[in-house]
């Protein structure tokens, strides 16, 4: 097993479109350490979400393999927590019931209640137990979704653009919260995002993907101490490097001439 939690080797995935095979992911090799926060960044259509869905076990029919803690991934598992871009809370359940959604097979009611309370508190939703998702703000709904993903004590947390639908201010606040939760739970986390600043702010490593077919273009380490300062020179430099990879070079900052 070693220190690697997740190992993906020689992964190829094709979608069949109108009878023709369309390569989506090509030759993906990836090792992720236990407790690491890794972001997958790429323009839309680069297969980053497909890669996440493969790890989640929702996508099958590919070459190569994905191994999590020594076990080959063949289908979904409650031990892999996921937060989707839309919160996907069930509208007919209260927040509390939604958070406890993954505990369906837990017979002990007290234990269930205790766990639910613990995670409601962790994401700062104490007092909103009996509220329905439609009554929550976008940020709060996403917190509930995070609590739901964490309650089964997963081996890995998979985030599919979890903050993508939030407004800029809420997003920055939630990034902080996410970091806080990650540090507390010491969880191996993979986040798909197209927000480069978000990736630099949260990740230990950033995987840059190129499009059609999706390939790993570059892996970038972010050796900055936490919590990170978005205005700090090294933060901005990493961000700029990433942006330039997208041919979207931002305005050059003065430090390039230092």
Partner 1 sequence: MAVVFKNRSLPKHYQALGFVFPAVLLIAWQFFSYNKKTLLGPPGDSILALWNIIRDGTALKLLATSMERVIKGFLIGTAIGLSIGVLMGSSKTGEKMMSASFHGLRQVPMVAWVPLIMMWFGKAGMAQVVFISWSAFYPVALNTYDGIRGIPGKYLEVGRVYEYTRWQTVKKIIIPAALPSIKTGTILSLNMAWTLLVAAEIMTSEPSGGLGDLLSEGRETFNIPMLISGMLIMGCVGYMLNQAAEAVWGFVLKNRPDIIKQGGA
Distance of CA 180 to the CA centre of its chain: 15
Query: Is 155 within 8 Å of 5 (Cβ atoms)?
Result: yes
* Residue 192 C-beta: closest distance to partner 1, Å: 16
Select from 4, 34, 78, 194 the one that contacts partner 1 (CB under 8 A): 78
Q: Does 152 bind partner 1 (CB under 8 A)?
A: yes
In sequence order, the β-bridge partners of residue 40 are: 192, 207
Q: Does 73 bind partner 1 (CB under 8 A)?
A: no
Q: Does 106 bind partner 1 (CB under 8 A)?
A: no
Distances (CA, A) of 198 to 53, 89, 94: 21, 24, 30
Report the alpha-carbon distance of residue 182 to residue 174 in Å, rounded.
Answer: 12
* Residue 230 C-beta: closest distance to partner 1, Å: 32
Q: Does 72 bind partner 1 (CB under 8 A)?
A: no
Q: Does 58 bind partner 1 (CB under 8 A)?
A: yes
Select from 39, 73, 96, 101 the one that contacts partner 1 (CB under 8 A): 101
CB within 8 Å of 120: residues ≥ 6 apart:
95, 96, 99, 126, 128, 129, 147
* Residue 78 C-beta: closest distance to partner 1, Å: 5
- Which residue's CB is nearer to partner 1, number 78 or number 224? 78
Report the alpha-carbon distance of residue 148 to residue 97 in Å, rounded.
Answer: 9
- Which residue's CB is nearer to partner 1, number 87 or number 205? 87
Report the alpha-carbon distance of residue 246 to residue 61 in Å, rounded.
Answer: 30
In sequence order, the β-bridge partners of residue 7 are: 31, 67
- Which residue's CB is nearer to partner 1, number 111 or number 229? 111
Q: Does 91 bind partner 1 (CB under 8 A)?
A: yes
Q: Does 68 bind partner 1 (CB under 8 A)?
A: no
Site for partner 1 in 118-137 (CB under 8 A): 132, 134-135
Tell me the H-state helices in 48-153.
48-56, 95-99, 109-122, 138-150
- Which residue's CB is nearer to partner 1, number 88 or number 112? 88
- Which residue's CB is nearer to partner 1, number 23 or number 164? 164
Across 132-157, b (16+ Cβ under 10 Å) vs e yields bbeebebbbbbbbbbbbbbbbebbbb
Residues at the interface with partner 1 (CB under 8 A):
56, 58, 76-78, 80, 82, 84, 86, 88, 90-92, 101-102, 104, 132, 134-135, 152
């Amino acid at each position: 097993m070693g220190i690697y939690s997740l190992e993906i080797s020689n992964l190829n995935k094709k979608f069949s479109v109108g009878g023709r095979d369309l390569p989506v992911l090509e030759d993906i090799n990836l090792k992720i350490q236990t407790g690491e926060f890794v972001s997958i960044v790429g323009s839309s259509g680069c297969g980053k979400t497909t890669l996440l869905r493969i790890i989640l076990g929702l996508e099958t029919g590919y070459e190569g393999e994905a191994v999590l803690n020594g076990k080959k991934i063949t289908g979904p598992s409650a031990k892999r927590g996921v937060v989707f871009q839309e919160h996907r809370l069930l509208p007919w359940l209260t927040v509390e019931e939604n958070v406890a959604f993954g505990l369906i097979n837990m017979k002990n009611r007290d234990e269930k209640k205790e766990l639910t309370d613990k995670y409601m508190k962790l994401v700062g939703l104490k007092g909103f137990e009996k509220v329905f998702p439609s009554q929550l703000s976008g940020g709060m709904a996403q917190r509930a979704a995070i609590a739901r993903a964490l309650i089964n004590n997963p081996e890995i947390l998979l985030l599919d653009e979890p903050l993508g639908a939030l407004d800029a201010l809420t997003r920055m606040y939630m990034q902080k919260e996410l970091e806080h939760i990650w540090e507390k739970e010491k969880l191996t986390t993979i986040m798909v995002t197209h927000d480069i600043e978000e990736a630099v702010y949260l990740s230990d490593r950033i995987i840059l993907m190129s499009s059609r077919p999706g390939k790993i273009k570059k892996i970038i380490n972010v050796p900055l101490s936490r919590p990170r300062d978005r205005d700090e020179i090294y933060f901005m430099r990493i961000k700029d490097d990433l942006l330039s990879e997208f041919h979207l070079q931002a305005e050059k900052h003065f430090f390039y001439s230092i």
